[in-house]
Structure 1
C-alpha cells in the first residue's frame, strides 16, 4: 500500500490565520473566545463565541466574489489557497495530476440561509439571490476549491457533523493509499456564528451560557456547561510519498491510520461508556500498526459538554488503561468548537506544535471532573511525540479517529 504524507497545511482560526501567528498564540495560551460581534447579543442566553477577527476578506476576494459566496466558502477557499502555497504547488501542476478535493462542512452556508429568508419575507421568495442555493448547500465549498485549483479528481463533501473534516482526511488518506488519487486537498470549513446557529444550539442546551470567556470552554472541568461556537477552516494537502519526494516537497507529517464507525444510539448524545469511540481509536491504531503504548499524545474531541467529556474519557481509558500515561488536551479550550472544521483545524495545530516539540495546551480548565481524570497537557513544555491520535465525535453517533506520525527529515 502507498504511504500518505502531509505536504501543506492551510488554517484560518480564531487564534490566527497563518502558521507563525497560530504557533505564537498557542505558546502564549491565548484564548480566541470573546463576546459575539456578528450580531447584537443583548438579552441572549449565549453571548460568547470564537470569531475570526484578523482576516480582511477584501484583500482576498473581490466584491463580486463575496456577493456569490457564503462566509463558509470564503474561509475554506482561503485555507485551500494557503495549503497550496505551503505545499509549493501550482495550478498547472494540479491540472496534470490525479488531484481531488475532500472538504467537509457540518452546516454549510447558514449565513446565506438566514439572510435570504429575511429578504424573501420582505420582497417575496421569488426575489431571493440566484446564488442562494449554491451559497447554502454544504458541498459548494469543496466544489469552489476544486474549480479554483483546477482539480479534476474526486470532489466530495463528508457531512458527519463534528466528525466531518476528520472523516474527510481519513477518506482522502484511504483514496491515496489505494491509488485512486495522488494528491487530495482535505479538511473542512464552518461559519455558523449566526443568530439562528447560536439560537438553535442554545435551545438544545448544547452551548455554554458562561459570561466569563476564561471559564466558558473548559473541557473535562467539573464546571463545564456546554461548548463555545467557533468558526474557521483547515485544509491539508495529502500526497502519496513517492510523488511528494519526486517533486522535492517539504513533508510535515504522515497519516498512518484511520478508524470510523457509528454509535447508532442517539441523535445528539454519545453512547454511554464510549464503546464505539474506543473501537474507532483501536481501528486507527491497527491500520497504523502501532500499539497504545506508542501513542504519545491524544488531541481529544473534548467539547466541554458534560456527556462528551465523560464518555470520551471512558473510551480513552478502555483503550489506554484506567490510569493512562498518554498525554491529552483539547484545542477547543483555545478556539471553541468549529463543528465540521474542528477535526482538521485541531489536527493542523497539533502537527505544527509537535514539529516544534511542544503540544497544544488545555487552557482555563482548573477543577478536573473526577470522571475525567487523564494526563492533561496544561503548560507549554518540551515533548517529543512520534505518534499522536486525533478524535472527533459528531451528533448522530459519528466517530472518527486518525493516527498521525512525526516526519523525521
Structure 2
C-alpha cells in the first residue's frame, strides 16, 4: 500500500496546518472552545473560504474529494490544532445529502430539493446530523424517533441526543422510523426545541426535541446512508486522533529533552526511553490501521475496517493520554499547557460515534457473519 499522500491532498493538509498554526494557538483555542458558541464563527468562515469543506464531497456533488484519504487530509490537521469548529457534522451531512441526491436521481426514494449540499460545502448553511438517542447512542437498530406522512409532507417526533454541532445548526438531518424503514428527514432548527451545551473537551453539541416537527424527506430507505455517514465520521475521528497524538508525543519529547533531574535531562533515563519508543510504535500502528480504513471506504469492507480502526485508536489514544501526563508530571495537568487539553480530547474521541467496546462487538459480528 502506498502510504504517501497525493500532491493535491498534501496541499490541502499543508494549507490547513499553516492556517490553523497561525490562527488557532492554544490560548485562542481555550478562549473559544469552552464558552458559547463553543467555536469561532469568524474562523469557521475562513475555513469555508479556504475550500476545506469541498474536500469532503466528491466531484458529482460539487466537491473535489470525498474519499477516505481526503477525510484524513482534513481531519488530521484539525486534530493537531485541537480545532473545535463543527467540521465533523458537515462531513456526515455531506455523506447523507449525497446519498439523497443519488436516490433521487436513481431509484426515486429520495428528494433532490431543499438547501442541499452546495450551501453546506460553502459554509453558508450548517447541518447537524441527529442520529443517536438516549437508548440508542451509537447504533441504528434501536432508533425510536417516528415520522408520518401528513398532508403531502411529513412530521417527525422524538428526541435526539449529543448532536455534534447542533447548537449552531440551521438544519438537522434526522433519522426516524417511517413505517418499517429507517428514513432521513431534513428539519429546520426553528421547528424543534434545541438545548445546546459545551462538551468537556471543548466544542459543542445539543439535545434535539421534535414534536410533530415539519420535515422534508431526504432518503426514504436511509439505513445505508446513515451507516456510511457514521463510518465516515468514525474515520474522521481516527484521523483527528492521529493529529492529537502526534502533537502530544512531540510535546512529550520536548519535555524529556529539557526537564532535568539529578543533573541530567530525564530523557536520558533508559526506562523513559523505552516507554517513549513504545508510544511511538503504538502511534504508527494506529496510523497504519487508519490508512487501511481510508483505503476501504466505498468497499464492502468499509464498516468492518473502520470499526477495527476506531477500536485500536480508542485504546491507543487513552494510552498516549495517560503516559504523556504521567511522564510530564504536574505541568501536564495545568490549564495553560496544551497536554491537558490534548489528553482530554484523546479520551473523549473514544466515546464519539462508538467506543472501543461497541466497535469490537461490530468487528466480532462481522467476522461471525463471514
Q: Normalising by structure 1, what TM-score? A: 0.25
Larger radius of gyration: 2
Q: Which has the higher contact order (CA 8 A, sep 6+)?
A: 1
Q: Normalising by structure 2, what TM-score? A: 0.27
Q: Which has the higher helix share?
A: 2
